[in-house]
Amino acid sequence: MPTTGVFNGTNLLLSVEGTNLGHTTSCSLTLSTDLPEATTKDSSGFQEVIAGVMSGEVSFDGLVTYDDTSNVTELADFLLARTQLTVVFGTETTGDRIFTAEGFLSSLEQSAEMESPVSYSGSITLTGQIAASDG
């Protein structure tokens, strides 16, 4: 049964290559459509656009633990090897909407501030079709 009402963001997970990213503190999915201008003299002075190329990006932040199954070291290896990844964004609740796509890590950062937990962040640029389904 799908989740009803407003729900806790902790329930949204990001899975890369079949494993949830460890110790994430946030994740986001951005879907976009390019809108090429189609304005002509017949547009009566108003801008007109057409739907163009669609794209997507997944961003994430987390805390570094080297003993996670999926951790910052594994992500760095994927980026350096230019590995195409399978990405799933959604909850584990049956009936909730999930998004599945292929993508490449476009950035990965690991930061260490004095007297704070080591953190990581990154983004995955999606390539090809983005499938939306009810899990």
Task: Identify which of 87, 109, 108, 89 has the alpha carbon closest to the alpha carbon of residue 97.
Answer: 89
CA angle 112, 27, 96 (to 5 degrees): 155
Is 117 part of any domain? yes
CATH code, domain carrying 98: 2.30.110.20
Which residues are CB-contacts of 11 (< 8 A; sequence separation ≥ 6)? 3, 91, 92, 93
Q: Mind listing the pLDDT tens digit for each residue in 82-117?
A: 999 999 999 999 999 999 999 999 999 999 999 999
Is 40 part of any domain? no
Its pTM stands at 0.91
Is 122 part of any domain? yes
Is 44 part of any domain? no
Q: How many residues in total does the chain contain? A: 135
Is 24 part of any domain? yes
pLDDT at 46: 98
Q: What percent of the chain has pLDDT over 90?
A: 95
**DSSP of 54-119:** EEEEEEEEEE--TTSSS-HHHHHHHHHTT--EEEEEE-SSTTSEEEEEEEEEEEEEEE--TTS--E
Is 110 part of any domain? yes
Is 127 part of any domain? yes
- For residue 65, give its domain range: 13-33+52-134
What are the two backbone dihedrals, phi and then psi, of residue 78, each rounded to the nearest 5 degrees? -60, -45
What total of structural domains would you count in the chain? 1
Is 29 part of any domain? yes
Q: Mind listing the pLDDT tens digit for each residue in 20-73?
A: 998 999 999 999 999 999 999 999 999 999 999 999 999 999 999 999 889 999
Beta-carbon neighbour count of residue 51 at 10 Å? 9
Q: Mind listing the pLDDT tens digit for each residue in 8-17?
A: 999 999 999 9
